[in-house]
Structure 1
Amino acid sequence: MGKPTFEIDNRVATRALLEMCKRLERAWALDDILHGMTPAIEDVLGYRHSWLALFGHPPGFINVISHVDSGQAQKRDVKSMNIPVAGDAMLEELLTADHVVVVEDARTDPRTNKEVVAHLQNRTIINVPLVLADERFGAIGIGTFGDIEGVRPPQPWHLEFLQTVAGHVAVALDRVRFMAARKKAEEALQQTLDLTNNVIQSMQDGFLMLDTQGILVEVNPAFCALVGFTREELLGQGAPYPYWPPEEIGSLQEAFSAAGEESFAQMELILMRKNGERFPTFISPSAVRNPQGQTVNFIATVKDVSERKKAEDEIRFQALHDELTGLGNRRAFDQILSRAFAQTRQSDQHHVMCYLDIDEFKVVNDTCGHSAGDELLRQVARLFTEALRGDDHLCRIGGDEFGIILQNQTVEQAVPVAQRLQAGLANYRFAWQSQTFGVGVSIGMVALDADSESVEALMQAADSSCYVAKDAGRGRIHVYAKDDQALTQRHGVMEWVSRIEHALMHDRLVLFAQPIVPLAPEATRGLHCEILLRMLDDQDQLVAPGLFMPAAERYHLATRIDRWVVSHAFDWLLAHQADIELCSINLSGQSLGDTPFMAFVLQSLGSSGVPADKLCFEITETAAIRNMHTATHFIDTLRQRGCKLSLDDFGSGLSSFAYLRTLPVDVLKIDGQFVKDMAQDPVSLAMVKSIHDIGCLMGKQTVAEFVENDAILELLHGIGVHYAQGYAVGYPQPLDAVLAQYRAGLLKRT
């Protein structure tokens, strides 16, 4: 078969181009462009095969879009394939060409990729570059395939016609690309809007949008739920909005105006629900601007901070209130006192400060436990509150201590109030399980007026006055006065506190010892002594314990002193244990009930290597009876470790013998008030004998204190008391001096 020839006049070509242009104007996609140009090429040029070639999608490839027969009349499908540029000289030329690239026979032309040619069955290939505004974005092509169509080189007017078609296709392709890009951008924008709207609608915080006139144009469900209004009720509303509380309109209008002036500070505001309920919010406003920077909307997120505010209020309340009683605490009292003091500086106001200490609280606490003590404090707090005016301030400022500020009262007016508080407690009985207790209160009172020196001075004066009231017999009221002799004495006690602190810090305490002599000579197996304590003053003179220990007991320094004594006594005993039979160490009542002190003693016993059987701890009868449960535990614990326990001043209490059966001590030290008079007083003699007899009956050893002469020694021999201690058998001396006397055999023998 010979090659077909086609002749056509300009009118046919022009009409075909016009029809093509109409189709290209309606093109919305690449397929539309291919469908638009193919009829013109077929009708005018007679080539059945045409295609669009697009550069760089994906990179390194040319994407070819062409028709393929569908097998149905009047219908041709479109296929797309990517052809690699590398190794294909024809495609490489096409990427940069500004002319028509013609391959008469792809099978023989050296520029073609023969693998691709063999696959596609190309013969003649004609490609016209698509160039618009110096941008190369593809080509249109026509050609023949296989042996049936064979080789068909183009005529010159074919190329001119193809270049005309390429110009129109380039414009259409640019428009399609633009519309595709715009559609993609619109879809992306819509996705962003949809996402933003979904985020806003699903936000747990409220969201609102206003136009530049302050009209609500959008709210999210969370905001509607916050304020209780529907979206329909809110949209279109302007300031003042229905969720503005009437009493807050001024502050809200000010905040709204600031936002309108684009001052977008975060703020806390009170809003109102539809039902009238007020609630605190945290609002974060901002502006929405167009590309020109002009504000087109105002937006804000609204967070309900009711729970946070509630938690903050709770924290503030706890910071200023006593958890047990609900009263103000020490910090609150200090603030109230400072305000009252400031009032006296600014005007002629008079207030009264009271410092209250509950009498017998420790008895309830130790006897029935902390739960009982806590309940007692709660009940006392209620009694005090009921007895005071609404303007007065009552706070719990310590364990069993309360502070009161009586507003606009003189001391003369305040004394009856204090008496009323005492009377209320006097008529009150605290019941716990099967036990009932009477409770009192000691009150220190100080005027708070223009003559008051400072808040600190007021606290010190009230505290000192309260202790003076307590020292006077409890259940008393003591009014502070600058020339008060009782307060002067108390300040003297406070001076001892300072000196004790200095002695502990700078090791100004000294250990002495006094021999305890067996009244049966054959019982001697080593030195038996009691450790005693002295303090060195600034001139290195010795200070007797009777001068400083009352202050130590009163201000809770006794346990620290006991720790010092135990530590140094252990060191001395360990160094001289071969010469010592038994070393007695006095302990205060405070140490008896101090759990950390017990742990300290046990730890020291374990780590020091001191033989426990050479130790005897002395506790007074009154301390043991006052802390019976604690004393019993203390005694049992140390006895289990091998130590001995001695009950000092035995017989001084009214019920000594009754308690003796419950206190598992090893030694009874007979109270010196009986021993020193036993040679002249038959009753004292009988008491000493009774104590010794009961002690022996219970398997305990006895020690007589205050043995001051030979007459007493002789009587003790006759009774059978086991040991004697006093000036008649040995004076208190430094530890090493007593030990030296023992080694030299100079201690008195009985």
Structure 2
Amino acid sequence: MSMIRPGLRTFLVVSAVLGCLAVTVAFIVRPGSPSAQAWLSGVALSGTATLAGLACGVRAIRVKDDTRSRITWLCFGGTALAWGFAEFSAAAYDVLLRREPPPFSLADVGFLVAGALLVAGLLRMTMPERNNAARARAVVDGLLISAAVLLVGWVSVLGPTVRLNETGFGDKMMLLVYPSGDIALITLATYLVLRTRGDGLKAVLPVEPIAAAVVVFGVADCAFAYLELIGEYRSGHVVDAGWLSAYTLLLIAAVMPQHRRGPESEVVPRQIGLLLPYFFIVVAITVSLVVPEITGIRDETTRWIQAGLILLMVVRQLFSMQENQTLATGLEHRVTERTQELEVSHKRFQALIENSSDVVMMVDREGRILYVSDSVARVFGVRPDIWLDSNIREWLDDASTQKMNEALATTAAQPLGTATLEALAVFPDGRRVTIENTVTNLLDDPAVRAIVVNSRDISERRQLEDELVHQAFHDSLTGLANRALFMDRVRHAMRRRVLGPETVGVLFLDLDGFKEVNDSLGHATGDALLVDVARRLTSCLRPGDTIARLGGDEFAILVEGALTSSEFLSVASRISDCLEAAIVIDGRDLFIRASIGIASAEVGSVTADQLIRNADLAMYRAKERQDGEPALYDPSMHSSLVERLALEAELRKAIADHHLQVHYQPTYVLETGDLVGVEALVRWPHAERGMVRPDLFIPIAEQTGLIHEIGRFVLREACFQGNEWARLAPSVPLSIGVNVSGKQLQRRDFADEVSEALAESGLPADQLVLEMTESVLMNDTDSTMATLKSLKAMGVRVAIDDFGTGYSSLSYLHRFPVDILKIDRSFVDRLSGVDAEDSLVQSIVQLGHTLQLETIAEGIEEHSQLQALRRLGCTMAQGYHFGRPGPADTVSKLVVEASAAVSPLPA
């Protein structure tokens, strides 16, 4: 960037150029008296030099991290200021004092100081070498060239002029000092331009403007010396315009912007730089010998200058020898360092190769091994000498050999071409190792001239990858395919059977009774059972069939190539036969049966997902039948599924919109006919379907978890309604029965729900009867027992619904806090007709009496059933014989009637 602000830089340059032009015109036109001309010249010259000096000083201050440039600018600034002071002093003698200056005045001191500083600045620019010998030799070169030019100038011009001049010796010497110094300056400027034609120095110092200023300055000085010797110079002469131009150029150089620094370089070769002084010496000696012969004039000064040249040549030679020695020493040092670096690099590279996990080989185009790293013994366990001169194909199996041939051919056809392949290496001891090879063509590299093969052992990685893939697509317990792999196999089978009459079939299996085994014997036994079932299923299938465990106790089998559905039934029959024998686990015989659903389809008729879904639907149909026979899929199953999904969505909406209702079925005392209780039953009046049967939507609620919301709704409604009836007829205390599902009872907060409902409704706890089936009580007995104890602590009574249809046992009746047994309607039905059977009902009633439990008969529809129950001693009853379940308003009328008088039982 620029060292001086652009506006100030422009002002200084324009001012200097205009001043130079004005003074030049004034010199030519010569206005006014000689005194005025002298004064104008002195002011212009000293002012321009002062501006240039100040600009160089500012430039030096602004230079960062470059001592050489800073010192150079300071020398040039001191030159300009000293010369400006000298010029002002000379003008003062001439104009103010109106007399000639003395032989050695202040002006001469300023001029000599300016010259010395200018030489120092030029020498600083011309000595970029780093060692002292080179710097000294560069100074001597400049002196040699200056002396040679001085010799030519003395023989041709200065000598004759001095001899003709009549001034004293001191004046002549002072006059000769200037041209001698100027010749040296011109020579240094020329040498500077020749040495700095590159961009290294020019990046920080504008060489051309500085050199031009020095040359112009030297020419003006020479002209001044000549005019003084012949007595024709006066202040204000046109020669003064030369000095003015020189300092204007220096000012321009000082305000020029600095360019970005590049690497220092000598454009002039070293040989030319060394020979350049000899060219000037030869020319100077030739001129000094030829001119005296022509003119016949010989003087001592010429011989002294010639002697000085010879002395300088000797000194230069000494410095050159020292420089060469320094260079040779430095070169030897660099060669030694470079050799050591190469040796260290070689050892490092060798250590890396030998200790690398890769084996590096170099082979020719045909695959012959030219080099193999010693790491082959550590990586592959084979000595390196065995590999040399063998063919790389000899170490590979047949399939890998073909891949290696292709890789070598491909890479050899393209410079720097690469290829990566995985191969199986076979070693003499029988080991088979999976290796990864990177093949690189370096045939065109003169240091290699071979194909480089980097090999690494990836057997463990490949084994791990295979294990991960196996785990991703296989069941960890049984080792069978999992759902993802089975789906992929089905999709591939569907694509393979695009043509031909063959069909694809899927058998979906679910183990019956597996949950009971898990719950009663533990998960370890269940896992062992699944493993044995998987083994049996695999043994009874064809090799081409695919068996998978989809999760839990669900299995699926893919059968391909079947022509008729009877073939799928044959596979299902074999499966049933394989599972018929007992499975012995921990000395215990376990028997398991599978519900099997079968779905087959011609290719293109359904997707793989639909085929598996159809088999799943057929399996549920087989499980519902419970006859052990497989079920074939038919479209009606899908329609049923769609209907079920629609019913589920509508049930959710009915719950959210509070469309469900609670109806109540009365319970009567058999002996007296008194109304003693009601059973709360949920009902769903549908706008389009009418009254939806509970056996349709209750199972859906159980499976989807909606039973919790329905059960909570019925419990709260029944409690509030029971409290309403208690206020309506205080003399008729009714028990309110509410059915409880197994999922409700398993909730840890169920007892809290009951307590909250009683507290909010105000219903006494002893009027609430929670009805549950035997299977509900048998599941998760610890948590069930804890919940029942909490309920009993509140005062709530417990009834076993549909007693006799489950796992009836005296032990659980004794353990669980049961208050009421409700006899299932299937037993009550046996009390009527020709073949009436009352032994089961009698046993239940007697059991209730023994355990001091109330008994309630369900589903009474005939008078004969009522008479039989009275005879057997049953306590209470309910059923259509007394009335169908109805809304709360209907039961409220019965409650009002019961409060007035005890109604007789229907005749």
Bucket of the pairwise TM-score, normalised by the shorter protein: 0.5 to 0.7
CA–CA separation in structure 2 for the residues paired with 1:205 and 1:276: 21
Partner of 2:50: none
Residue of 408, 417, 420 corresponding to 2:574: 420
Offset at 1:194?
2.3
Offset at 1:365?
3.2
Please give the secondary structure, in 1, of the residue aligned with 2:538.
helix
Offset at 1:168?
0.9
Partner of 2:231: none
CA–CA separation in structure 2 for the residues paired with 1:618 and 1:370: 31
Q: Which has the higher helix share?
A: 2
**Does 2:413 correspond to 1:253?**
no
Please tell me the residue identity of whatever aligns with 1:420: R
CA–CA separation in structure 2 for the residues paired with 1:569 and 1:252: 77
Offset at 1:399?
3.1
Residue of 189, 192, 196 corresponding to 2:345: 192
Residue of 686, 691, 708 corresponding to 1:542: 691
Residue of 784, 788, 794 corresponding to 1:634: 784
Residue of 618, 621, 628 corresponding to 2:771: 618
Offset at 1:545?
0.8
**Does 2:641 correspond to 1:494?**
yes
CA–CA separation in structure 2 for the residues paired with 1:176 and 1:739: 124
Please give the secondary structure, in 1, of the residue aligned with 2:558.
strand
Residue of 514, 520, 523 corresponding to 1:361: 514
CA–CA separation in structure 1 for the residues paired with 2:399 and 2:528: 44
Please give the secondary structure, in 2, of the residue aligned with 1:507.
helix
Structure 1 contact 496–548 (Cα < 8 Å) conserved? no
Structure 1 contact 527–582 (Cα < 8 Å) conserved? yes
After the TM superposition, which residues 463-542 of structure 1 pair with which residues of structure 2 at under 5 Å, given as runs? 463-480=616-633, 488=636, 490-491=637-638, 493-508=640-655, 510-515=660-665, 517=667, 519=669, 529-537=678-686, 539=688, 541-542=690-691
Partner of 1:135: 129
Cα pair distance change 1:247/1:201, threshold 3 Å = same
Cα pair distance change 1:636/1:698, threshold 3 Å = farther
Cα pair distance change 1:271/1:737, threshold 3 Å = farther
CA–CA separation in structure 1 for the residues paired with 2:608 and 2:616: 12
Please give the secondary structure, in 2, of the residue aligned with 1:346.
coil
**Does 2:456 correspond to 1:309?**
no
- Runs (5+) with no aligned partner, structure 2: 1-66, 76-122, 137-306, 727-733
Partner of 1:567: 712
CA–CA separation in structure 2 for the residues paired with 1:666 and 1:681: 34
CA–CA separation in structure 2 for the residues paired with 1:183 and 1:208: 32
Offset at 1:663?
4.4
Offset at 1:514?
1.7
Offset at 1:725?
3.8
Cα pair distance change 1:718/1:417, threshold 3 Å = closer
Offset at 1:452?
5.0
Please tell me the residue identity of whatever aligns with 2:404: L
Residue of 396, 404, 428 corresponding to 1:244: 396
Please tell me the residue identity of whatever aligns with 2:662: F
Compare CA radii of gyration and give the structure with the larger one: 2
Partner of 2:485: 332
Cα pair distance change 1:134/1:271, threshold 3 Å = same
Offset at 1:205?
3.3
Cα pair distance change 1:608/1:240, threshold 3 Å = farther
Partner of 1:50: none
Q: TM-score, normalization: structure 1?
A: 0.66
After the TM superposition, which residues 719-738 of structure 1 pair with which residues of structure 2 at under 5 Å, given as runs? 724-727=877-880, 731-734=884-887, 737=889
CA–CA separation in structure 2 for the residues paired with 1:348 and 1:457: 20
Partner of 2:424: 270
Structure 1 contact 289–297 (Cα < 8 Å) conserved? yes
Please give the secondary structure, in 1, of the residue aligned with 2:396.
coil
Q: Deviation per CA, 1:309-337, whole angstroms, max 9, x where unpaired?
A: 22222222223322222222333333333
CA–CA separation in structure 2 for the residues paired with 1:434 and 1:503: 50
User: RMSD of the alignment, in Å?
Assistant: 4.8
Cα pair distance change 1:686/1:472, threshold 3 Å = closer
Q: TM-score, normalization: structure 2?
A: 0.55
Partner of 2:858: 705
Q: Deviation per CA, 1:257-282, whole angstroms, max 9, x where unpaired?
A: 33332332444333333434333233
Partner of 1:347: 500
CA–CA separation in structure 2 for the residues paired with 1:663 and 1:576: 28
* Number of equivalent positions: 593
Offset at 1:648?
0.6
After the TM superposition, which residues 92-241 of structure 1 pair with which residues of structure 2 at under 5 Å, given as runs? 135-139=129-133, 163-210=316-363, 216-237=369-390, 239-241=391-393
Please tell me the residue identity of whatever aligns with 1:628: M
Q: Percent identity?
A: 24
Offset at 1:707?
4.8
After the TM superposition, which residues 642-657 of structure 1 pair with which residues of structure 2 at under 5 Å, given as runs? 642=793, 644-652=797-805, 655=808
Offset at 1:201?
1.9
Please give the secondary structure, in 1, of the residue aligned with 2:706.
helix
Cα pair distance change 1:283/1:450, threshold 3 Å = closer
Offset at 1:189?
3.0
- Runs (5+) with no aligned partner, structure 1: 1-84, 94-128, 143-154
Please tell me the residue identity of whatever aligns with 2:336: K
Cα pair distance change 1:473/1:182, threshold 3 Å = same
Please give the secondary structure, in 2, of the residue aligned with 1:405.
strand
CA–CA separation in structure 1 for the residues paired with 2:378 and 2:756: 69
Please give the secondary structure, in 1, of the residue aligned with 2:684.
strand
Please tell me the residue identity of whatever aligns with 1:243: W
Stretch of structure 1 that moved more, 701-710 or 601-610 = 601-610
